[in-house]
Chain A
Amino acid sequence: MLKAENLVKIYETGFVRKRRITAVDNVSFDVKEGEVASLVGESGSGKTTTAKIVLRLLPPTSGSVSFKGRDVWKELKTREQLVDYWRKVHAVFQDPYASYNPFYTIDRVLKQALRLVGVDRNSEMERKLIEEALNYVGLSPEDVLGKYPHQLSGGQRQRIMIARCWLLKPNLIIADEPVSMIDASMRGAIIKLFMNLRDDYRTSIVFITHDLGLAYYVSDKIMVMFKGRIVDIGAPDEVVKHPQHEYTRKLLESVPTLYRKWRWV
């Protein structure tokens, strides 16, 4: 469904003496319908840059992204086509706080989503859909509607972003560190919501994360990024048990395990 081919992104800094930083270096991958893929890497490995290119937020230096056979960077020209793309390929970010405008109540993000799918303002349909969406993510409408973003907890804010996904029914969700700011005891709930979307609507999901534990648990496919390249790719068990690249091995050695204690030499 989504295909990224030979993506390269080079940042140039400096005025007189140019320094070139290759953030993404020849990255190719594809995501099928209903597939959950994870892009794992530490900070600076280029995973977020890759996500931005796929989301058509940041132009690649070279390479192409195609979604359902259409080149995202070359063939989407009009505003309508773009809006349609962002409806089908939806982003959920790490800090949902940044996705909200603090001056408006949270109702607005849901209502805006409904505008995108053509539901009339203040209609009975709008009210019904918003209630259904909030119920889907386990929030009761009377608790959250009419509130401002700062009045909600991080978990609630993230749930509302997922409710927005439910309204839009995108084909693909790009989730950039969606649970890293949420406490461990509540993380599972958010992860389950993503999985429900996949199971109920065959939504594909790309998790962008530094957390190998999360990637191992949720994904059908793990891609390990290091210095802008994908160095390891495969099914979770394959990558975790038989890592191909030196870096993946080092990463696995460094991830704290719960059921095994490290041997300190």
Chain B
Amino acid sequence: MELHNVKAYYRQLVGSTHRVVRAVDGVGMTISEGEIIGIVGESGCGKSTLANVIMMNIRPPLTLVDGIVKLYSEGREAVDLQRLSREELRRRIWGKEVAIIPQAALNALMPTLKIRKIILDVMKSHDPDVDEDYAINTAVRRFRELGLPEYTVNMYPFELSGGMRQRVVISIANLLNPRLLIADEPTSALDVVTQKMVLKILMDIYSKNIIRSIVFISHDIATVRQIASRIVIMYAGKIVEEGSTEDVITHPLHPYTDGLMNSVLTPEDEVKRRGVRFIPGQPPDPSNPPPGCRFHPRCPYAMDRCRREEPRMVQIDGNRLVACWLYTSK
């Protein structure tokens, strides 16, 4: 899948003035088959909006202002998702090509419906004429792959433990073998022990080839580091750095990435040795971002140029990308 210069804004009417929140502002990225991409950013940086853009789940007040979202499939022509209607997306794309695990996955199941009924509802929304036995059998097979007993389909969600519910949600999201799974903060509200279990389930469906690629969205760089092969760092609606996980973690290029790395606290010796630092100030108002580089008001290396011109994404050391004037001037 390819994204080119995607701009998605929220339009709001506050009193008589029009407020435009530039949640995603000119993002381009490629998601290749077999990759797990981690998108890291703090609250309000546009990462959840980006998830919706990849799904093309765009509803007012969110509007896609510009950009192309191209989906390549095996043996078929590439599709420009932004040209499809919601109806077509639902029929052809959602669930089959691209699926999403929302933030509150644990509470996504209606407690008064049996799991069986939920499965049928999901399957029918994609194909109204689906054979019921076939649908249930597919689900049971998927359940077994994730270590859920068969009888789960005849239970109510409230009868299941948290871990089981989590697995049910993930299996239902992947019933139709989507090639790309978007996980939007699937673990942020969970205790760490449960969080690790969810990550394990994701790795499981990935290594069993049920899904091909994952886009894992999180605010926690330490979590992303455990699962992603490539990391994308977002700040104020833009991608500031992108590279292989090991490269970004061991040798961050963008000052924001560096600052973020140094503010994370984990129970490790390295953390005690380096101490905790922080980035002064706070992220800009997305409806009124500063001119030039959006990070310059908080950046320790800000130069004149950063205040005037917006840095372009440049390629460094082969396969690393960074948008910062520190690297362009060389």
**Chain A residues within 8 Å of B, Cβ to Cβ:** 42-43, 153, 155, 183-189, 191-192, 210-217, 236, 240, 250-262, 264
| Other A-B pairs beyond A42-B192, A188-B276, A250-B193, 12, CB < 8 Å | A183-B43, A184-B263, A185-B259, A189-B278, A212-B192, A216-B268, A236-B267, A254-B195, A256-B223, A257-B225, A262-B226, A264-B203
Residues from chain B with a CB closer than 8 A to the CB of A189 are 278, 280
Majority secondary structure, B binding face: helix
A contact residues around B261 at 8 Å (CB): 258
Which of chain B's residues have a CB closer than 8 A to the CB of A155?
A: 282
**Tally of B interface residues using CB under 8 Å:** 40
Is there contact, CB below 8 Å, between A42 and B271? no
- What chain A residues lie within 8 Å of B265 (beta carbons)? 187, 211, 213-214, 216-217
Within the complex, what minimum Cβ distance (angstroms) separates B276 from chain A? Answer: 4
Shortest C-beta distance, B14 to chain A (Å), equals: 14
Residues of B within 8 A of A192 (CB): 276, 278
Residues of chain B within 8 A (CB-CB) of A240 are 267
| Choice from B200, B203, B219, B249 contacting A184 with Cβ under 8 Å | B219
Most buried by A among B222, B263, B278: B278
Give which listed residue, A185, A216, A256, A264, contacts B278 with CB less than 8 A: A185
Cβ of B222 to closest chain A Cβ, rounded Å? 4
- Shortest distance in angstroms between B240's beta carbon and chain A's nearest beta carbon? 13
| B266, closest chain A residue (CB) | A213
CA distance A155 to B221 in the complex (A): 20
Question: B268: which of A153, A185, A260 is its contact (CB, 8 Å)?
Answer: A260
Contacts of A153 in B (CB 8 A): 282
Q: List 25 A-B contacts (CB under 8 A).
A: A153-B282, A184-B219, A184-B263, A185-B256, A185-B263, A187-B265, A187-B278, A188-B263, A188-B276, A188-B277, A191-B276, A192-B276, A192-B278, A210-B191, A213-B264, A213-B268, A217-B272, A254-B195, A255-B192, A256-B195, A257-B268, A258-B221, A258-B266, A258-B268, A262-B226
**Are the C-beta atoms of B193 and A254 separated by less than 8 Å?**
yes
Q: How far is the CA of A45 from the CA of B76 in the complex (A)?
A: 53
Instruction: A236 to B271: give the CA distance in the assembly, Å.
Output: 13
B310 at the A/B interface (Cβ < 8 Å)? no
Binding site for A on B (CB under 8 A): 42-43, 191-193, 195-196, 200, 203, 207, 219-223, 225-226, 245, 249, 256, 259-268, 270-272, 276-280, 282-283
A192 to B279, CA, bound (A): 12
Known: A42-B192, A216-B272, A254-B196. A186 touches B282 (CB 8 A): yes
Q: Which residues of A contact B193 (CB under 8 A)?
A: 42, 250-251, 254
Query: Which B residues touch A253, using CB under 8 A?
Result: 196
Contacts of B259 in A (CB 8 A): 185
CB pair B191–A43 under 8 Å, yes or no, is yes
Residue contact A256 to B266, C-beta cutoff 8 Å: yes
* Interface pair B249/A259, CB less than 8 Å apart: yes
The verdict on A259 contacting B270 (CB below 8 Å), with A189-B280, A214-B265 known, is yes
Complexed CA–CA distance, A261 and B278 (Å): 24
Rounded to whole Å, the gap between the CB of B264 and the closest CB of chain A is 5
Which B residues are CB-close (under 8 A) to A214? 265
Query: How far is A191 from B279 in the complex, measured between Cα atoms in Å?
Result: 13
Cross-chain contact of A186 among B219, B222, B256, B279 (Cβ < 8 A)? B279
Q: Are B267 and A184 in contact (CB under 8 A)?
A: no
**Shortest distance in angstroms between B117's beta carbon and chain A's nearest beta carbon?**
30
B266 contacts A255, C-beta separation under 8 Å = yes
Indicate if the CB atoms of A217 and B271 lie closer than 8 Å: yes
A195 (CB) vs chain B CBs: closest residue: B276
